[in-house]
Structure 1
Amino acid sequence: MHSMRIKVLLLYFSFPHLWAAPLSPAIFFPSVVFVILYALILPVVAWRMITPRSRTLALLGTILFSVERIIVYSLRIAEAHSAKERVSEGLVTYMQTTFGAGFISIGHDVVTILRSMLVTSTQGTPVSKNFRDDESLEPLTSLPGHAAPSHSVSPSIRMSFSRTSHDGAFGSVACIDYKQAINSGFHAALTQQLRYASTAVALFLIIGVNAVALWAYFAMPRIPRNSALLVFAVSLLLCIVGAYRMIVMRFSTTSLLSTAPGSLNSPGSKRTFYLFHVLPEFLTAAILLSVNVKRIFATGMFGDVAYRDKNNPVVLSRSLLMTK
């Protein structure tokens, strides 16, 4: 009787579904496409890092993300042609971790450039509250002799920008032992809870970035429209990823290769995954890495890392850079 109960429990035991479920030889083509697309980004990244006027480490997370995605999708291509790799618990665990943390690492970089944009925009001489640079071509900061628009921002608000942008930095997703979740009800429940927590926090903060960018567009005269819209656009793309993850988070599966409803392992579910998770990630990375973030957001080499406005020469050098 006891053994029968154990068999029944094993029969109905389920664990959280897989992100990027194992591929079959018939549907591996999207992975080939994204390997090529991410590979096309690398020459742009190399050019940005070689050129002094665009060299910055403010997007280091996005750069590493793009390189890793080439590795990830190459592994998925190999997985599609190997029955052994499809059920490799080590590879499955790696896939769950990388697809869980990827969009969060990009979000951290978006916070970095938003911080630089907001904090740097508080430098300079005050102008009318109703002033707006409609052409969005003026620099975020000003030097003596440069008629850059600005508005009055008190030191306390400058500190608020600094603190808020630091508090908004995204934490990394904890290393979840998905291998144990496959074989243990306790670890399966823990993994599911950590998934919900990490995705919910990330989505909440990304929505906050989106709202701040929209507010800056309308309320801060010295913020160039194009800069604010760029942050708004990329954060909106990341919101799609987070929302998709929250919607399908409730599903579970009983096997790595199951195609039952809720396993997210059917061809239709995989197409949805590529459409709402993989594609927005790529578009976000491509947009951020294709523009000169150092000039547009005055990030300098590392972004704005100061805790307070010291009116030091670094700020002035950023202003000079953006006027060129």
Structure 2
Amino acid sequence: MSSNIAFPSPVGGVPFPSDFAPSVLFAVLYGLLVPVMAYRVANKKSRTFLLVGSITFSIERIVLFSLRAVQAHSSSRRVSMGLTAYMQSTLGLGFIGVAQDITNLLRCLLVNTTLPMDHPDNPSSSSEAMAATSSGDQPKKRNLYRRLIDVTRLAFLISTIIGIVGNAHYNGVLNNASVSQMVMRLRYASSAVGLIATLFTVAIIVWAMTTIPRVRSGPASLLLLLCALMASPSFLDYLPNCSSAIYRLAVMYNTTTSLTSTSQGSLNTPAEKAEFYVFHMLNEWVALALVLGLNLKEIFNTGMFGDWRAIDETEAERLKRERKEQKKRDKEAQLNNTAV
């Protein structure tokens, strides 16, 4: 499908027969994560709501690459503007979703350093552990860390909204020059804000590792690795330009007059496709494999819901919760005695 208007080249290009093999490969790779997802959900020791975003994203990627495999051998579906707009939206928001999960883990890591030293080893959530009182409790710092993460979350939310609005209009770029320019600007804005937010997250992690004595270096280093996969200029210090966010910013200036063009800048050339699969898609899969493959609930002591409170509970709220929990324990003990 061609146009007289130069419009933003679709990131990843459109699937040609040569895209069939890598599309199937990535669909299989994400499919291999499904048993891991099921295990994380089924196992009480690793089950946490903080993985919902990553699990949903992984399933969506199976759908994405399955569609790309179908498009690879269908000339009509290859130029479908509806499918192209959908793929541009999900490709643009993928790394942002993973980065948001990283901030949730970072929040748990920071908040746990403000809890009393004698807090439970395995609280059902970090918020519940805050009810304990001790000289090691640091409510002011806890509030500061939460607000820092709130700022990061807000930035990712803004990036997500901009990306949705921009890519949702991609199916209109063929016939309207103003829409084409708007889509290009909004896509740049979304990726730029997402990159800035991720770098801000990196700055918080590095600051925490160097200034907060109780921050554990292992989990913090894992977060840095995940951020590197999503936004840093290098991966493990030896693969240049290996970054989902920076890759997008580097290629989105390209324009084309046809979805099926194979000229330089169309993002359909073999070299451009290779860069897409290696520097964009591979990063995301490795990040998700780490997130799902490791027991993050245990590593970050997240509990079931993570640190979900905006502020600490009041004394009255704490007493009410403890009474409710005691009633629940008494009821369970009574049922157990009855069963015996």
* TM category, shorter: 0.7 to 0.9
Contact 1:251/1:263 (CA < 8 Å) preserved in 2? yes
Q: Does 1:195 align with 2:187?
A: yes
**Stretches of structure 1 lacking an aligned partner (at least 5 in a row):** 1-9, 127-137, 144-149, 318-324
Residue 18 and residue 122 in structure 1: after superposition, are their counterparts in 2 closer, same or farther (change >3 A)?
same
Q: Does 1:275 align with 2:267?
A: no
Contact 2:11/2:251 (CA < 8 Å) preserved in 1? no
Give the share of equivalent positions with the same residue, in percent.
Answer: 38
Q: Residue 174 of structure 1 is aligned with which of 164, 167, 170?
A: 164
User: 1:185 aligns to what?
Assistant: 177
Q: Residue 296 of structure 1 is aligned with which of 295, 299, 311?
A: 299
List aligned pairs for 1:226-305, cutoff 5 A. 226-239=218-231, 240-305=243-308
- Compute the RMSD of aligned alpha carbons: 2.5
Contact 1:106/1:285 (CA < 8 Å) preserved in 2? yes
CA distance in 2 between partners of 1:167 and 1:151 (Å): 29
C-alpha displacement of 1:152: 6.0
List aligned pairs for 1:99-118, cutoff 5 A. 99-118=91-110
List aligned pairs for 1:55-204, cutoff 5 A. 55-125=47-117, 154-169=138-153, 170-171=156-157, 172=160, 173-175=163-165, 176-204=168-196
TM normalised by structure 2 equals 0.79
Q: Does 1:22 align with 2:22?
A: no
TM normalised by structure 1 equals 0.83
CA distance in 2 between partners of 1:183 and 1:298 (Å): 52
**Stretches of structure 2 lacking an aligned partner (at least 5 in a row):** 232-242, 326-340
Contact 1:244/1:276 (CA < 8 Å) preserved in 2? yes
CA distance in 2 between partners of 1:70 and 1:235 (Å): 23
C-alpha displacement of 1:216: 2.1
- The amino acid that maps onto 1:213 is I
Secondary structure of the structure 2 residue equivalent to 1:250: coil
Question: C-alpha deviations, 1:136-177, integer Å up to 9, x for none?
Answer: xx9898x8xxxxxx9967432211101111221121232421
User: 1:131 aligns to what?
Assistant: none
Question: C-alpha deviations, 1:266-310, integer Å up to 9, x for none?
Answer: 111000011110010111111011111111112222221111234
CA distance in 1 between partners of 2:295 and 2:59 (Å): 19
- The amino acid that maps onto 1:181 is V
Contact 2:11/2:252 (CA < 8 Å) preserved in 1? no
CA distance in 1 between partners of 2:19 and 2:135 (Å): 55
Contact 1:56/1:294 (CA < 8 Å) preserved in 2? yes
Residue 259 and residue 153 in structure 1: after superposition, are their counterparts in 2 closer, same or farther (change >3 A)?
farther
